[in-house]
Amino acid sequence: MPFSSLGLSPSLVKALSLANYKEPYPIQSQAIPAILTKKDVLGIAQTGSGKTAAYALPILEQLQHKTKSKNRFVNVLVLVPTRELADQVSEVFKQFSKGLTEPVKTMAVYGGVSINPQMMALQGVNVLVATPGRLIELEENNAVHLSEISVLVLDEADKMLNLGFKEEMTRIFDLLPKKRQNLLFSATLSEKLDGLNQVLLKDPLVVKIEAEEENIDLIKQTGYFVTEVKKGPLLRYLIKHNDLKQVLVFTSSIYSADKVVDKLKKNGIDAMAIHGDKSQEARKDALHKFKIGKTNVLVATDLISRGIDIKFLPYVINYELPRSPKDYIHRIGRTGRAESPGEAITLVTEQDKHHFRVIQKKMGKWVTMIDSEGIDLKGF
């Protein structure tokens, strides 16, 4: 089914073809027609499923046919849990707004950066993508008014609840007009989320996309038994010896992410860290350099990695194991997307052995293990 049969204007269909979106992903073919008829939607879908375009496209279409709000009265509010996702989502809106006959202004706002430029730039914004805390601050300062919102989107709603944004979210809901369309996206369903659904959604269309589990078959998974002291040399060996490009390395803490980057750099491997202690500018810079291939290795913690979409990521290395099997699948699910096969490598110490078995069991797949004792790590 082509995009043109979903009810989108020719200018949007053209923008889609310029972005090389050939056909709608399942979440898009199901959600777009429903959103266009102003139905509420509950989408159970992960990053990578195409959920952003699934709501951005019909929202842009709707904005073409209505009188848009003026001044600081925004039309559409997209709430997201992290700064990275805010930037990512607003980029999608901006990308598809380019050829529209009726211009649409999108802006992302989040904490951790100065509020004044955001307050000034909010004039004339139609689509506001925001993290909850900063949105409340802006509203309290009269920099934005939410009383004319016609569509509310909650993206990664489960993560927003997990990060403790419930109270802020409830405060925001109280500021919105009662009559509006609600679109809620979440990677998982939970009891907490159920509460939210019931408050927000009226007779929603439910779209459920199982994305990541299917992807696992595309990924070549390997594990290396290694001692704690040889982890660093083994990591460098794997990158240098195999001349790996675009490697995402996961650590379990901020401290160890910085340490790994330090060591890689000292050994002539270009690397940057991305984690919660870095400023917004530093995170953006690291992600950008990694995406365009200027930095070969990005070292990340789990919290930061969630929700970031990097196309065609060929290698993920688990320098340290994640706590949960779900996080393991989430990490390695970043490779093997869009039909490009990826490789996931996991370093396993004696202490990790039991935990890694639990992860494999939950995943329902056994990983080929190699003993690094047999590898000559001298000089790495």
Instruction: Name the one range near ligand AMP by CB under 6 A: 18-26, 132-140, 168-176, 242-250.
Output: 18-26
Rule CB under 6 A: choose which of 21, 73, 225, 380 binds ligand AMP: 21
Residue 232: name the closest of 295, 286, 277, 299 by CA.
299
Query: What does the buried/exposed string (b/e) look like for 61-96 if buried means 16 or more CB atoms within 10 Å of the residue's CB?
Result: bbbbeeebbeebbbbbbbbbbbbbbbbbbbebbbeb
Rule CB under 6 A: choose which of 47, 75, 301, 335 binds ligand AMP: 47
Rule CB under 6 A: choose which of 43, 50, 132, 322 binds ligand AMP: 50
Q: Are 197 and 344 in contact (CB under 8 A)?
A: no
82 contributes a contact to ligand AMP by CB under 6 A:
no
Rule CB under 6 A: choose which of 6, 9, 25, 313 binds ligand AMP: 25
127, containing H or E segment: strand 127-130
Residue 30 or 47 with smaller CB distance to ligand AMP: 47
Please give the Cα distance from 52 to 362 (Å, whole number): 29
The residues pairing with 353 across neighbouring beta strands, listed in sequence order, are none
Site residues (CB under 6 A) for ligand AMP, limited to 297-316: 309, 311
Instruction: Name the one range near ligand AMP by CB under 6 A: 21-29, 143-151, 191-199, 357-365.
Output: 21-29
Rule CB under 6 A: choose which of 43, 51, 234, 321 binds ligand AMP: 51
| 184, two tokens | 């809620």
From residue 252 to residue 291, what is the string marking binding to ligand AMP with x (rule CB under 6 A)? ----------------------------------------
- Min separation Cβ 16 and ligand AMP, Å: 7
Residues in Cβ contact with 76 at an 8 Å cutoff, skipping those fewer than 6 apart: 59, 63, 126, 127, 128, 149, 150, 151, 152, 153
- Min separation Cβ 30 and ligand AMP, Å: 13
29 contributes a contact to ligand AMP by CB under 6 A:
no
Sheet holding 219-225, edge to edge: 271-274, 297-300, 247-250, 315-318, 342-348, 219-225, 368-371
- Min separation Cβ 239 and ligand AMP, Å: 25
Residue 50 or 233 with smaller CB distance to ligand AMP: 50
| 99, two tokens | 């050829």
- Beta-carbon count within 10 A of 227 CB: 11
24 contributes a contact to ligand AMP by CB under 6 A:
yes
| DSSP alpha helix (H) spans, the chain | 10-18, 26-36, 51-64, 83-97, 116-121, 132-140, 157-162, 166-175, 191-200, 212-215, 231-241, 254-266, 280-291, 302-305, 325-332, 353-363
Amino acid 22 reads K
Rule CB under 6 A: choose which of 49, 186, 197, 349 binds ligand AMP: 49
Q: How many residues bind ligand AMP (CB under 6 A)?
A: 15
Q: What SS3 state is found at 342?
A: strand
Instruction: Name the one range near ligand AMP by CB under 6 A: 7-15, 24-32, 222-230, 241-249.
Output: 24-32
Instruction: Name the one range near ligand AMP by CB under 6 A: 44-52, 114-122, 256-264, 369-377.
Output: 44-52
Residue 215 or 346 with smaller CB distance to ligand AMP: 215
Q: How far, in whole angstroms, is CA 115 from its chain's centroid?
A: 24
Applying CB under 6 A, the residues found at the interface with ligand AMP are: 21-25, 28, 47-53, 309, 311
